[in-house]
Structure formats: structure tokens, C-alpha cells
Structure 1
């Protein structure tokens, strides 16, 4: 049975299934730990602390400097990442799990726009289609009341937090793309918790809540599951083409819908399914449209894959 599964299931898909499941579980833990009155900033700080320890250990294992070359840009990557993470976690505490994850998948729209404006990339037809479909999906998911009078709109505060989180993730993505030419991926990853921990603690101030055993367990799980996401994403990128890995990653929405129903009794509406489908379709069209393996040499393909790997290491958590 196991051999048969290995024959038809690509190795990259197996790693992405584990990564997507870990991401959905991590999102559920964020939502659950907030019910113990743990502030969002404290959740961010706990996640950053665990990531800082693991990232530091990885840098020491490689025997490289933790400070990198472009310290200003690395710090900006950390700032964008912590802003995105705070907003994403806050959105998870307000919105249904599936809807929060669907809105997070608008990151490719912001990334495409920033790549054109900042990196000077060409405007592809697939990018235009991606933006149009994603905006249609956003409206249908967030404001179905514009189409049907008796439909329930999502909370505006949660939607804005999710959108800012997606935009922050896109900014971090573009910065990492620039940094990947001169910085080791482990250093890029290290700067995120190094910035996130003091920033979140400073903003938290005296509002720290002493967690009980269950809340502490959930906080630890958030850090551990995030690391599982990163490891499996890395392995998926090593054994599979980046465009295929991106396509596989959208299975996390299915897992999120299942977790939302299992833990929070959240049943996605027809509008969530329709809007989410348009957003995912737009993102996939953009990925496929930018993938031209036949025009790349094997060396360039590996270089592009390495860059994407360092980018996606934090994609599940800004």
C-alpha cells in the first residue's frame, strides 16, 4: 500500500500536504489560544522567541555570520514580516479560519504589483488576469451583500487586518527576492524573529498574561508547527519545481475549512467557496503564466528555485 502511494504521489506533494496541514493546525492554535485571553502581540512574541532559537541554531550549524551584508534591507524585511504577522494573527482571532486563510492568499496580487513597481518586472497577461480574478473573489468573499441582500458580510476590521497582513507578506517577499542575491537564506530567516521579538514585546508592554498549562502548550505548538511548515516547504522546494509547490500549497485552504468546522463549528458559505475559488484560480494562473521551464537553463532554474525557497520559508507566517 505504502509503495503504491509513493508511486503516484510526487515527493513534493507529500511535503506540501504535511506543510499545509501544519499551517492549518498552527492557525487553529492561534485562534484557540486567543480564547484564553492571550493577547495577539504575546502570541507573536512567543512564536518569534521559538523561531529565534531555532534560526540561531541553524546559523551556528552553518558557521556563518548572523548579521548578513545588507543590514538595512534585512531589518526592513523583519519589520514588514512582523507587521504582516501581527495582522494575520489578529485576523485569525476575528474571522472564520477558512476566510482568514483565503484572504491571506491575496499576497500574490500585492506581490505582482510590487514586483512591477519596485523590481521593474514586465506586466504579463497572467498578472492582469490574476489581479482581476482576485479582486472579484475578494468582493464576493468579503461583501456578498453587494450581490445578494440577505448575505452576511465579513467583519470590516478583520478583513482590513487580513489585507494588511497579505500586503506586508508581499513586501517581505519582494525584499527577500532582492536579498537572495547577496544573503544566505538562514540569515534572512533569522532577521525576522530578531526584529519581531523586541517589537512585539515593546508594543505589548505590561499586558502580558501568564498562560496556564493549556495556553502554554498551544503557544509552544504554534512555534513548533511553524517550524514544521518551514522545513516541509524547504524540502518541497528542493525536490519539486517552484510553480508546482505553489499550486500544491492551496490545499491548506481545504485543511483550514476542515479545522474551522471541527474546532470552531464554522461552515463556509457558498460565497466563501466561490470567492476563494476565484482568488486561488487567479494566483495559479499567475504562477503558471510566469513559469517557462523550457526557456531556462538547468542552472538558472536551480538558482530561481533556491531564491524561491528562501522566500517561502516564511510565507506561512509572514
Structure 2
């Protein structure tokens, strides 16, 4: 899950850079989806899995939820500091745990609940400046709502992934994501696409590659652990995002961000240390 978190943090930084280079939001998602299709099909062919999978209704639902979440999250990343956008998105373990409890009958362990509580405390510290800044709140309202909407969509998608890993190969699950993204982006914004320069193409390819790595690592984590615990560990992406935002975009973390990040890391450590011995990785 830590590999997934770092890959997604790098992806977020590249999304921000692509937007600064003038690439439209939906085109970023489109190119990312094309790369994901190529890599997923190559892996599916390597392992000999059926590309369309077995539970196609759930796979399509996972793709739709993922596309909705990704569009919302990318919008937030473009219009907010990377760390703030990532913090809002990382409400998704709360949604995932709730949905997994309702639909998968997964009871969160004490370790998972402790991680979520500590991480939400950290989230509160880091989001506070966004709400109490001197700027008019209306300027941040829609990006904030997009970030929270992306969190809900991710919670739905991750719960479906947890349901699907019992019967589907990870690359098949990942494949349905871009299969929805490609027609969706073309229908909604294909007329606005531009031809990037060399740097723009390099950034777009990087987005696709790091996203694929993050998706595969995430799906594997869901396969080896409960949905709620796996996603609670992914909170460390907030810390990675804050560091990348500071290094590449001069987004200096506030003291509240540093305090919140400490809570996030402590929550992840608690989740690992309190893991029941019977829940070890298979």
C-alpha cells in the first residue's frame, strides 16, 4: 500500500504540472487511460487471463465509479495545493470502511479504527487553514466539493475492488477503469484537446505509468488485506504529496500540515503494529 501511495503522489504532482503546461483536465485523463489500457492488456496477455473478466456488471460499476472519482480528484489537484487536494481525497478510507461493513460484512479491527481516527485528526489539522484562510470561501468551494466527491467515488470503487479480487485478475479490474475513461473523456471534452510539446508528452506518459503502478499496487493490497485496513494505510500519500508540493511547486507546508502529517504517520504505524497475527499477508 505504501508503494501505491507514493506512486499516486507522484501522479498528482505530474497532473499539476500538466495543467500548468496547458493540457486540459479531460485530456490528461484520456492519455492516462490509453497508457493504462496498453499496460493492462500486456499483463493480461502475459498471465493468460480473460480480458473481459467474469463479473462484468461489477467491473463496469467499478470503472464508472473510478472515472467519476478520478475526474473530481484531478479537478481538485489542479485548483488546490497538492497536499490540500490529497487530504480531501483521503476521506475515502472512511467511506470504504463504512461501505465494506455494509456490503461486504467486514468488521473493522481495532487497528483499522485507530488508524482512521488518528488520520482524521491529522486531516482536521491540515484542512483547517483551507477553511479559515483570509481568501473568500467561495473561491475554494467547488474544488473542495470535488475533492470530497472524489473521496466518495473512490470509496465505492475500492469496495467494488475488494469484492472483485476473489474472481478477477488485478489487471482485468484495472482494465475496466480506462475502458470507461476513454469514451467518457472523448464525449465530455474531446473537442478541447490540444497537442502538447515534448515536455507535455513526457509529463502525460509519467502520469499514465505512475497511475498504473499505483492501481496495480492498490489492487494487490486489497487482495491481500481487508478493504478498510488497506486503504487506511494509504493515508501516508498525504505526507508524500505535501513534500512533492513543497519541492516542485514551492507549496510550503504550514505548521498545521506538519502536525497533521505526524498524526497520519502515527496512525499508519499503529495500524501495522496492531495488526492481528492471523491477518498477515498471504
Q: Where on the TM-score scale, by shorter chain, does this alignment land: which range?
A: 0.7 to 0.9
SS of the counterpart of 2:105?
Answer: coil
Segments of 5+ residues of structure 2 without an aligned counterpart are none
Out of 130, 146, 161, the position equivalent to 1:176 is: 161
Q: Report the CA distance between 1:194 and its aligned residue.
A: 0.9
Counterpart of 2:22? 37
| Maintained 8 Å contact 1:30/1:89 | yes
Aligned partners of 1:107 and 1:258: how far apart in 2? Answer: 21
Q: Report the CA distance between 1:201 and its aligned residue.
A: 1.6
Counterpart of 1:311? none
Counterpart of 1:196? 181
Structure 1 residues 156 and 281: alpha-carbon distance in aligned structure 2, compared to 1, 3 A threshold:
farther
SS of the counterpart of 1:182?
Answer: coil
Q: What is the correspondence of 1:268-307 to structure 2 with a 5 Å cutoff?
A: 268-279=253-264, 281-282=266-267, 285=270, 291-294=275-278, 301-302=281-282
Segments of 5+ residues of structure 1 without an aligned counterpart are 1-11, 303-318
Q: Report the CA distance between 1:101 and its aligned residue.
A: 2.4
| Maintained 8 Å contact 2:111/2:270 | yes
SS of the counterpart of 1:116?
Answer: helix
Counterpart of 2:73? 88
Q: TM-score, normalised by structure 2?
A: 0.82
Structure 1 residues 120 and 87: alpha-carbon distance in aligned structure 2, compared to 1, 3 A threshold:
same
Q: Report the CA distance between 1:125 and its aligned residue.
A: 4.6
Counterpart of 1:63? 48
Aligned partners of 1:112 and 1:244: how far apart in 2? Answer: 8
Out of 198, 203, 206, the position equivalent to 2:191 is: 206
Q: Could you report, residue by residue, the CA deviation over 1:110-146 in whole angstroms, capped at 9, with x for unpaired residues?
A: 1111112222233555555455444444443223487
Instruction: Say what the alpha-carbon RMSD is for the aligned residues.
Output: 3.6
Which moves more between the two structures, 274-283 or 32-41?
274-283
Structure 1 residues 78 and 237: alpha-carbon distance in aligned structure 2, compared to 1, 3 A threshold:
closer
SS of the counterpart of 1:93?
Answer: helix
Is residue 119 of structure 1 aligned with residue 130 of structure 2?
no
* Structure of larger gyration radius: 1
| Maintained 8 Å contact 1:99/1:272 | no
SS of the counterpart of 2:251?
Answer: coil
Is residue 262 of structure 1 aligned with residue 251 of structure 2?
no
Q: Could you report, residue by residue, the CA deviation over 1:237-286 in whole angstroms, capped at 9, with x for unpaired residues?
A: 99x98999878755544432232122211111112223344455456555
| Maintained 8 Å contact 2:125/2:259 | yes
SS of the counterpart of 1:155?
Answer: helix
Structure 1 residues 230 and 77: alpha-carbon distance in aligned structure 2, compared to 1, 3 A threshold:
closer
Residues paired across the two proteins, number: 280
| Maintained 8 Å contact 1:102/1:276 | no
Counterpart of 1:314? none
Q: TM-score, normalised by structure 1?
A: 0.74
Q: Report the CA distance between 1:219 and its aligned residue.
A: 0.8
Structure 1 residues 189 and 22: alpha-carbon distance in aligned structure 2, compared to 1, 3 A threshold:
closer
Out of 147, 150, 153, the position equivalent to 1:165 is: 150
SS of the counterpart of 2:191?
Answer: coil
Which moves more between the two structures, 117-126 or 256-265?
117-126
Q: What is the correspondence of 1:41-52 to structure 2 with a 5 Å cutoff?
A: 41-52=26-37
Is residue 54 of structure 1 aligned with residue 39 of structure 2?
yes
SS of the counterpart of 2:193?
Answer: coil
